[in-house]
Amino acid sequence: MHPKWLRNSTKTLVHINAWAIHRDPKVWKDADEFVPERFLDSEIDVKGHDPELIPFGIGRRGCPGMMMAMAMVELVLANLLYAFDWELPPGMKDGDLDFDVEPGLTMPKKNALCLVAKPMQF
């Protein structure tokens, strides 16, 4: 239901189901699959302007820390990539990686990703 159609009183709590919005098969091909490549050529972004993707909410009730969170994630990932050499544990091959997820609100991995981080020598 579009938010403009909702009549809200002081005793009514309206919940927008972001989980269902993010898995709408009318909007997303293979909606229940984790396919990050779908955003490479997409005009849709996470900044709250597109109602098809609202991880931080939308409009004036959107997350006030969205810009800080996006900057921090980028900074932390950049520092991890810069400071460490990443490799698979001994005896493990690329084909052994399991990217299956558990269905739910956050879609966590069924099996933890195991990597070995070796500090870079500068």
Q: Is 114 labelled a binding residue?
A: no
Domain for residue 32, yes or no?
A: yes
Query: Are 51 and 58 in contact, with CB atoms under 8 Å apart?
Result: yes
* Number of structural domains the chain divides into: 1
C-beta contacts of 5-12 below 8 A and 24+ residues apart: none
- 8: in domain: yes
Domain interval for residue 53: 1-64
Q: Is residue 49 part of a domain?
A: yes
CB 62, CB 48: distance < 8 Å: yes
pLDDT of residue 87: 92
Q: Is 17 helix (H, G, I), strand (E, B) or coil?
A: coil
- The confidence score (pLDDT) of residue 5 equals 52
Spell out, as residue ranges, where the chain has pLDDT lower than 50.
1
The residues facing 45 across adjacent strands are none
Residue 81 placed within a domain:
no
| Domain membership flag for residue 28 | yes
pLDDT at residue number 34: 83
